[in-house]
Amino acid sequence: MKKLLAFVLIAVSLLAGCGEKPGAAAPKQVFQGTDLTGANFGRDFALTDHNGKPRTMADFKGKAVIMFFGYTQCPDVCPTTMAEMSEVMKQLGPQAEQVQVLFVTVDPERDTQKLLAEYVPAFDKRFLGLYGTAEQTAAVAKEFKVIYNKVPGTTKGSYSMDHTAASYVFDKDGKLRLLLRPGQPTSTTVHDLKLLLS
């Protein structure tokens, strides 16, 4: 009987050790989207915003940054993504002030500063359009592993752009942390941004 009692006491003490200890740290929260933490690309860029100001990632230190590559004449994924980002900002409420959305054009031939200044803030006045020369655009796309390609249209001189449709998210220190896939639920993006901002 004494042996049985001793065994029960040992078992209970071992089981008690499996539970959460008072004052123990809460379980680490994880992203619901695609985690890119530790990626060795997407480190920086040198482009101009739609107000004519030169920009690099350092300009947005202290904010989470969402970067999307597209073009203003895109008929589908670009306006859809920008509208989704607008909704994300609404759902973040006051925390949205800690987020910067950047729209990088992959069509510098047509997307002038003036056109970007009209298009991008129409989704949210805080959003910034970025552009560069053809060479600068190519360099940034290479750094961020973005693919884009001109596709001839049905009429002479017309064309569309095939391009990577995902968005990147950076933390307040400018480190690449997340990939947002096209059509990803807004709730997922909001959840992950709140984690980055906490």
| pLDDT tens profile 107-119 | 999 999 999 999 9
Decide if 178 is inside a domain: yes
Alpha helices in the chain (DSSP H): 2-18, 77-92, 113-119, 134-143, 186-197
Which pLDDT belongs to residue 2? 44
Q: Is residue 58 one of the residues assigned to a domain?
A: yes
Residue 19 lies in a domain: no
> What is the per-residue pLDDT for 77?
94
The answer to whether residues 135 and 21 touch, using CB atoms and an 8 Å cutoff, is no
Whether 20 maps to a domain, the answer reads no
Consult the annotation and say whether 74 binds a ligand: yes
What's phi and psi for 168, nearest 5 deg?
A: -110, 145
Q: Which of 143, 138, 136 is nearest to 46 (CA)?
A: 136
Q: What CA–CA distance (Å, rounded) separates 130 from 40?
A: 22
Give the domain CATH number at 46.
3.40.30.10
Q: Which strand (E) or helix (H) includes residue 162?
A: strand 159-163
> Residue 42, exposed/middle/buried by CB under 10 A (0-12, 13-18, 19+)?
buried
For residue 78, say whether it is annotated as part of any ligand binding site: yes
Residue 156, pLDDT score:
86
> Residue 9 falls within a domain, yes or no?
no
| Parent domain of 55 | 34-197
Is residue 13 situated within a structural domain?
no
Collect the ranges in the chain with pLDDT lower than 70.
1-29
Q: How many domains does the chain contain in total?
A: 1
User: Cα(79)–Cα(139) distance, rounded to whole angstroms?
Assistant: 24
DSSP state of 102: E
The amino acid at residue 8 is V
Task: Identify whether the C-beta of residue 25 lies closer than 8 Å to the C-beta of residue 172.
Answer: no
Query: Which amino acid type is present at position 179?
Result: L
Triad 91, 170, 72: Cα angle to 5°: 70
pLDDT in tens, 24-69: 444 556 899 899 999 999 999 999 999 999 999 999 999 999 999 9
Q: Give the per-residue pLDDT at 29.
A: 62
Q: Is residue 164 in some structural domain?
A: yes
Q: Is 69 a domain residue?
A: yes
pTM of structure: 0.84
As given in the structure block, the two tokens for residue 119 are: 């298009």
